[in-house]
């Protein structure tokens, strides 16, 4: 059952209801008023007040909706609800990729460099799909050594920004960064009295701590705040902010799609050289900031999460608070006898459906344990508990169906409607970023008593095909609808998550495959 109901109408006072009430009031007060024709001027005045009342109550209802997390529609309202419990909404994640920078001759053939070629940080490489090219920036200076034809440099789908302000030498200084969308975790702040560290709050800051905080609003605009001198050192002189913008899903690219480079280059001997680029690997996953719908799911989970991971579900929630993780399952010996005592496995399913990378696994483990290179865990685990975070196992579901098309529906159109329904059913997330509750791990496919049946219902998949807009009916014969070759529910392991496999659709009228 979704936890985000539709917007509610609290007052139920529309134009018709208010008009009816006003005329009843008129009749009870002015008994001589008997002309209720819509063209009468006095009735025009009554309806004018009814219309004004309708508009006022409409906006009262909308404001009331924004006061509750389950009905709020504005990102600003949802972020404010999260702030009440200390929830910080995760931002977008920028895709990264090692880019191959090659020195070539006028014919485009890779050629050994006569001298070192230094390609400066910030160099822009991009895709060829103008005018909507996707841009990446080189993060650090790269050198193609003399005698080599190429070198690899790490690039990120973001833009570097540097800004400077003059300190007022006052307590509680705040500065709104000019460029959006701000990329979380990218800020480097410094002032005339030294570098500043970004912290969540000034609660643990002392009078000698050079700390600042960053808050990001609904427009992805960042505000940097400094301390009072008692909690956090007041910045002096020129304050410099270096940060990055953009990131998100747009940076998710396949191999050999980044093929253009901006700028001209010379080697250290000042000889002009020609540089070409390509990406031998696909980019790492770029993630958009969570949608309003997704935030409405995450905030109650964050409120449910204690400041330590104790219960089985705590580890799942801790993983789900990582932007890239869409679904998670934590199993112990209580659920799976093959798991040892005081031990657990956390199965992770990223939002893109791909296997979880080691970097992502480390990020999740850092939620519960001390992991080198990561901050102190926000939800520390029990000291003797052994947790292993692994990528989720997928169960491929192949579908075979004999379908009869509706009148004037072509075969390709019927197939497209079936595929749209099946993809929506098996998608990890809904289009609005919320969790697709129709599909889950085998452990969460449970009976009325909460015991895992581990059965993906045959009828659920059947209904998706039958209800496709181009389908009149499904064949009634044995074998006219099969899941993995059988006319039965599909049994999953506790830790398996269903994934749509091959779909074979047979035209019931021609017996030909669509």
Please say if the pLDDT value at position 416 is more than 60. yes
Res. 4 pLDDT band, cuts 50 70 90: very low
Please say if the pLDDT value at position 444 is more than 60. yes
CB–CB of 223/175 below 8 Å?
yes
CB–CB of 464/422 below 8 Å?
yes
CB–CB of 110/150 below 8 Å?
yes
The pLDDT value recorded for residue 99 is 98
Alpha-carbon span 82 to 298, nearest angstrom = 9
CB–CB of 3/70 below 8 Å?
yes
Q: Which of 28-42, 197-211, 428-442 has the lowest mean pLDDT?
A: 28-42
Alpha-carbon span 410 to 400, nearest angstrom = 19
Mean per-residue pLDDT over the chain, rounded: 92
Overall residue count recorded for the chain in this entry: 514
Which residues are bridge partners to 64 per DSSP?
none
The pLDDT value recorded for residue 418 is 97
Q: What is the mean pLDDT of residues 307-313?
A: 92
Query: pLDDT tens across 123-132, in order?
Result: 999 999 877 8
Angle in degrees, CA 111, 115, 117, rounded to 5:
80
Residues 305-391, CATH architecture = 2-Layer Sandwich (3.30)
Q: What is the mean pLDDT of residues 398-416?
A: 95
Q: What is the mean pLDDT of residues 437-460?
A: 95
- Indicate yes or no: pTM above 0.85: no
DSSP notation for 75-124: HHHHHHHHHHTT------B--EEEEEEEEE-TTS-B---SS-EEEPTT-E
Alpha-carbon span 96 to 139, nearest angstrom = 10
Chain centroid offset of residue 232 CA: 33
Q: What is the mean pLDDT of residues 413-418?
A: 96
Tokens of residue 497, six digits: 């998550």
Q: What is the dihedral of CA 412, 416, 419, 420, to 10 degrees?
A: 180
| Domain spans, the chain | 15-67, 96-158+249-279, 159-245, 305-391, 395-507
Please say if the pLDDT value at position 183 is more than 80. yes
The pLDDT value recorded for residue 352 is 86
Which residues are bridge partners to 452 per DSSP?
446
CB–CB of 77/295 below 8 Å?
no
User: For residue 52, what is the enclosing H or E element?
Assistant: helix 41-66
Query: pLDDT tens across 99-143, in order?
Result: 999 999 999 999 999 999 999 999 999 999 877 899 999 999 999
Q: How far is the CA of 95 from the CAs of 131, 132, 222, 242, 430, in angstroms?
A: 20, 17, 20, 19, 22
Please say if the pLDDT value at position 10 is more than 60. no
User: Going by C-beta distance under 8 Å and a sequence separation of 6 or more, which residues neighbour residue 148?
Assistant: 103, 112, 113
Alpha-carbon span 498 to 310, nearest angstrom = 28
Q: Exposed/middle/buried for 113, CB within 10 Å: 0-12, 13-18, 19+?
A: buried
Alpha-carbon span 298 to 85, nearest angstrom = 12
Other Cβ atoms closer than 10 A to 36: 12
Terminal alpha carbon distance of the chain: 35
């Amino acid at each position: 059952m979704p936890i985000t109901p539709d917007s509610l109408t609290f007052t139920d006072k529309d134009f018709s209801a208010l008009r009816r009430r006003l005329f009843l009031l008129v009749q009870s007060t002015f008994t001589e008023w008997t002309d209720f024709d819509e063209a009468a001027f006095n009735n025009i005045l009554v309806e004018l007040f009814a219309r004004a009342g309708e508009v006022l109550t409409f906006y009262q209802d909308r404001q009331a909706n924004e006061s509750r997390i389950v009905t709020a529609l504005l990102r600003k309202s949802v972020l404010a609800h999260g702030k009440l419990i200390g929830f910080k909404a995760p931002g977008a994640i920028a895709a990264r990729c090692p880019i191959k920078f090659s020195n070539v001759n006028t014919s485009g053939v890779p050629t050994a460099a006569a001298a070192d070629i230094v390609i400066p940080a910030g160099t822009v490489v991009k895709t060829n799909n103008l005018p909507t090219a996707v841009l990446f920036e080189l993060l650090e200076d790269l050198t193609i050594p003399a005698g080599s034809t190429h070198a690899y440099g790490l690039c990120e789908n973001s833009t570097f920004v540097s800004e400077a302000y003059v300190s007022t030498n006052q307590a509680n200084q705040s500065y709104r960064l000019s460029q959006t969308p701000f990329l979380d975790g990218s800020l480097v702040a410094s002032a005339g009295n030294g570098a500043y560290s970004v912290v969540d709050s000034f609660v643990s800051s002392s009078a000698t701590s050079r700390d600042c905080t960053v808050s990001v609003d609904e427009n992805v605009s960042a505000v940097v705040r400094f301390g009072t001198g008692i909690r956090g050192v007041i910045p002096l002189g020129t304050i410099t902010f270096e940060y990055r913008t953009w990131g998100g899903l747009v940076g998710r690219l396949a191999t050999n799609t980044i093929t253009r480079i901006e700028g001209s280059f010379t080697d250290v001997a000042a000889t002009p050289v020609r540089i070409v680029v390509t990406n031998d690997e696909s980019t790492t996953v770029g993630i958009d900031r969570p949608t309003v719908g997704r935030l409405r799911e995450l905030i109650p989970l964050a409120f449910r999460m204690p400041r330590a991971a104790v219960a089985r579900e705590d580890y799942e929630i801790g993983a789900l608070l990582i932007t890239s993780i869409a679904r998670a399952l934590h199993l112990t010996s209580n659920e799976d006898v093959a798991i040892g005592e005081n031990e657990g496995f956390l199965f992770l399913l990223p939002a893109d459906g791909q296997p979880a990378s080691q970097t992502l696994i480390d990020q999740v483990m850092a939620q519960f344990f001390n992991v080198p290179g990561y901050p102190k865990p926000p939800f520390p685990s029990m000291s003797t508990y052994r947790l292993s975070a692994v990528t989720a196992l997928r169960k491929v579901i192949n579908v075979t169906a004999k379908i009869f098309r509706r009148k004037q529906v072509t075969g390709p159109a019927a197939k497209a409607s079936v595929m749209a329904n099946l993809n929506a059913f098996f998608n990890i997330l809904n289009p609005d970023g919320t969790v697709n509750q129709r599909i889950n791990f085998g452990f969460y496919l449970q009976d009325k008593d909460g015991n895992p049946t581990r059965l993906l219902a045959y009828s659920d998949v059947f209904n998706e095909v039958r209800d496709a807009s181009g389908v009149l009916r499904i064949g009634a014969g044995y074998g006219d609808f099969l899941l993995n070759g059988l006319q039965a529910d599909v049994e999953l392991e506790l830790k398996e998550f269903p994934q749509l496999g091959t779909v074979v659709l047979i035209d019931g009228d021609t017996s030909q495959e669509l």
